[in-house]
């Protein structure tokens, strides 16, 4: 009904000439087919005409607005190209001095749609196919990125160097941190009580314990601990503040350590090592780095100054529960790689890995897929990741419930963006959909390598860091050239032990 009314109104407006001042006075009455009465008076006509004029002025203003804004977006797009189809809307505010000074744009590959295949030139004389696996996160797969020989060399070099446990059994320093913060049981209870209902649900405790001590608890484990510690007096599976108060600060951890923790109960059960890829490194490692530069289209300096190649080996039964490779961006957070350039000491440090390139060095006999539990979900809700005792982050149990799984195939590379764009050509917020993990290997072993590309979401800090490590005086060269032009410059001092 409303639609009908709108159509009629539109039809009426369509027939209204824009030079309405020349209209014969009686026309509105005729069109509305009303009788000559008080309604068809001159004043009624004036009111209708005023309405039309205001309407037309509004339409013109709207057209101007749309024209002006799309003009601006086009300008941004040509500056940012190629950019992602998956950016958050920009907030329209006047650019700050910092923003005016920078005019570098980080390229982002277009995903187009899931299943879209694009040809990419990574080595001379051959094109690779790159398939879009998801848009949230922006995730691609490139079969044959590494040759069989390259895979073999990387595994051999890693073995030569020696691999170490990816996660130690007991995480040190957590108790001290808790003591330093000096929080009361009420304060801790409040922090844990995410939904603020005055009770601690199982998932509220589980989420916390993983961050705290790296031991992966299942809902059953937690019930067992409650029983062992007689923590849940009324047995309803929830902890009230009174029940919580009776527990000592490290009661959980002490209980677990007494009972013994197996490697399979850790967040990550694998071994790894790091391989330096700069000048003097094995040619295969340098070639891989060059290919990554061509794949991501990022300024070579950014890739040169990133972490070395991490090579990971999972034995049968190995896994890596779902996690983010990068941390969230808060004003008080500093990136590990740019801490040299931080102005003041920052209380929190996190990895800032703009892109993850993951290489499969062998094909796995059973299991070992890389799972993306919430890829292309319509919404993201952290709380519902653990629901009704099904924990989507648990890659030993629930990989089959992940939205997306990539089967490890020798030589294939997958890569994704851990951050969104800020809409102005730089790194924006963490992409929560980039959550991923390594499913349990059920047969054989699994070898992968990670190439992380570190970029600080704080543009000024990234620039300062580059100036520091490249040992260039601040005034000597333009900021933009630091990021885009220094293709041949290698970091002189970092990663030399690798
Ligand atoms: C990692 C990781 C996934 C996998 O090493 O950070 O997420 O499939 N690996 O091994
Ligand atoms: Ca609660
Ligand atoms: Fe990861």
Q: What is the pLDDT of residues 73-85, one digit of tens each?
A: 333 433 333 333 3
* pLDDT over 70 (residue 59): no
Asked if residue 491 lies in contact with residue 468, where contact means CB atoms within 8 angstroms, the answer is no
Which pLDDT score, from 0 to 100, does residue 39 have? 47
* pLDDT over 70 (residue 37): no
Out of 404, 436, 441, mutate this one to test ligand 1's pocket (max ligand atoms within 8 Å of CB): namely: 436
- Residue predicted with more confidence, 263 or 256: 263
What is the C-alpha separation between 319 and 268, in angstroms, rounded? 6
Residue with CA closest to ligand 1 atom 7: 437
pLDDT range class, residue 6, cuts 50, 70, 90: very low
How many angstroms separate the alpha carbon of residue 192 from the centre of ligand 2? 7
Which pLDDT score, from 0 to 100, does residue 156 have? 98
Alpha-carbon distances of 164 from 173, 273, 277, 369, 494, rounded to whole Å: 20, 6, 19, 22, 21
Report the SS3 class of residue 482.
helix
Tell how strand 348-350 and strand 370-372 pair up: unpaired
How many angstroms separate the alpha carbon of residue 322 from the centre of ligand 1? 9
* pLDDT over 60 (residue 396): yes
Which pLDDT score, from 0 to 100, does residue 439 have? 98
Task: Reduce the secondary structure of 188-209 to three states and give it as a string.
Answer: HHHHHCCCCCCEECHHHHHHHH
What is the C-alpha separation between 107 and 129, in angstroms, rounded? 19
Which pLDDT score, from 0 to 100, does residue 72 have? 41
Residue with CA closest to ligand 1 atom 9: 438
pTM over 0.85? The answer is no
Tell how strand 348-350 and strand 333-335 pair up: parallel
Nearest atom in ligand 1 to the alpha carbon of residue 371 is 8
Which pLDDT score, from 0 to 100, does residue 94 have? 57
pLDDT, mean of residues 284-306: 98
Asked if residue 445 lies in contact with residue 366, where contact means CB atoms within 8 angstroms, the answer is no
* pLDDT over 50 (residue 208): yes
Out of 320, 439, 440, mutate this one to test ligand 1's pocket (max ligand atoms within 8 Å of CB): namely: 320
Which pLDDT score, from 0 to 100, does residue 344 have? 73
Which pLDDT score, from 0 to 100, does residue 170 have? 62
* pLDDT over 80 (residue 441): yes
pLDDT tens per residue across span 342-373: 877 777 889 999 999 999 999 999 999 999 99
Give the least confident one: 156-165, 298-307, 320-329, 471-480: 471-480
Asked if residue 166 lies in contact with residue 463, where contact means CB atoms within 8 angstroms, the answer is no
pLDDT, mean of residues 178-191: 79
pLDDT tens per residue across span 149-181: 999 999 999 999 999 999 887 655 555 555 666
Which pLDDT score, from 0 to 100, does residue 148 have? 98
Which pLDDT score, from 0 to 100, does residue 180 have? 64
Which pLDDT score, from 0 to 100, does residue 387 have? 85
The dihedral through the CA atoms of 27, 28, 34, 37 has a sign that is negative
* pLDDT over 60 (residue 16): no
Report the SS3 class of residue 7.
helix
Which pLDDT score, from 0 to 100, does residue 212 have? 63
Half-sphere exposure of 118 (CA within 13 A, CB side): 14
Strand partners for 22: none
Pocket of ligand 1 (CB under 6 A): 312, 320, 325, 370, 436-438, 448, 450
pLDDT, mean of residues 382-411: 93
Nearest-ligand number for the alpha carbon of 450:
1
What DSSP letter does each residue of 130-189 carry, written as one string? EEEEETTTTEEEETTSS-HHHHHHHHHHHHHH--EESS-SS-TTHHHHHHHHT--HHHHH
pLDDT, mean of residues 234-246: 90
Rounded percentage of the chain residues whose pLDDT exceeds 70: 71
pLDDT, mean of residues 22-39: 41
- Residue predicted with more confidence, 268 or 38: 268
* pLDDT over 90 (residue 391): yes
- Residue predicted with more confidence, 288 or 29: 288
pLDDT tens per residue across span 106-124: 999 999 999 999 999 999 9
pLDDT, mean of residues 187-213: 85
Return the DSSP state at 94. -
* pLDDT over 60 (residue 375): yes
């Amino acid at each position: 009904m409303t639609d009908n009314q709108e159509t009629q109104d539109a039809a009426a407006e369509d027939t209204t000439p824009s030079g309405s001042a020349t209209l014969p006075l009686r026309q509105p009455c005729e069109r509305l087919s009303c009788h000559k009465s008080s309604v068809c008076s001159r004043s009624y006509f004036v009111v209708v005409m005023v309405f039309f004029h205001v309407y037309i002025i509004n339409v013109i203003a709207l057209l101007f607005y749309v024209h002006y804004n799309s003009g601006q977006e086009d300008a941004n797009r040509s500056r940012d190209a190629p950019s992602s189809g998956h950016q958050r809307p920009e907030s329209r505010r006047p650019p700050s001095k910092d923003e005016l000074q920078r005019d570098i744009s980080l390229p982002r590959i277009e995903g187009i749609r899931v299943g879209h295949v694009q040809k990419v030139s990574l080595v001379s004389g051959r094109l690779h196919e790159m398939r879009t696996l998801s848009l949230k996160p922006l995730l691609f797969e490139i079969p044959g990125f590494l040759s069989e020989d390259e895979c073999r060399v990387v595994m051999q070099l890693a073995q030569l160097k020696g691999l170490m446990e990816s996660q130690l059994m007991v995480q040190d320093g957590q108790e001290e941190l808790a003591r330093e913060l000096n929080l009361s049981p009420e304060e801790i209870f409040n922090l844990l009580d995410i939904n603020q209902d005055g009770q601690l649900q199982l998932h509220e405790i589980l989420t916390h314990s993983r961050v705290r001590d790296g031991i992966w608890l299942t809902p059953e484990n937690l019930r067992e601990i409650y029983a062992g510690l007689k923590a849940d007096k009324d047995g309803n599976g929830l902890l009230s503040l009174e029940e919580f108060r009776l527990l000592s600060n490290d009661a959980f951890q002490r209980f677990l350590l007494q009972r013994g923790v197996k490697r399979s109960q850790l967040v990550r059960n694998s071994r790894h090592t790091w391989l330096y890829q700069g000048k003097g490194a094995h040619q295969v490692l340098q070639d891989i780095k060059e290919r990554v530069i061509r794949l991501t289209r990022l300024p070579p300096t950014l890739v040169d100054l990133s972490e070395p190649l991490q090579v990971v080996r999972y034995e049968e039964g190995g896994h890596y529960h779902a996690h983010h490779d990068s941390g969230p961006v808060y004003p008080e957070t500093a990136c590990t790689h740019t801490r040299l350039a931080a102005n003041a000491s920052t209380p929190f440090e996190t990895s800032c890995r703009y892109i993850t390139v993951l290489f499969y060095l062998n094909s796995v006999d059973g299991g070992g897929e890389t799972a993306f539990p919430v890829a292309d979900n319509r919404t993201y809700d952290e709380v519902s990741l653990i629901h009704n005792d099904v924990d989507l982050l648990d890659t030993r149990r629930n990989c089959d419930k992940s939205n997306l799984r990539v089967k490890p195939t020798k030589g294939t590379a997958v890569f994704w963006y851990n951050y969104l764009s800020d809409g102005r050509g730089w790194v924006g917020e963490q992409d929560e959909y980039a959550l991923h993990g390594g499913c349990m290997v059920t047969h054989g072993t699994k070898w992968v390598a990670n190439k992380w590309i570190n970029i600080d979401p704080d543009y000024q800090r990234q620039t300062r860091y580059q100036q520091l490590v490249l040992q260039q005086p601040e005034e000597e060269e333009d900021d933009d050239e630091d990021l885009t032009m220094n293709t041949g410059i290698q970091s002189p001092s970092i990663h030399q032990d690798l």
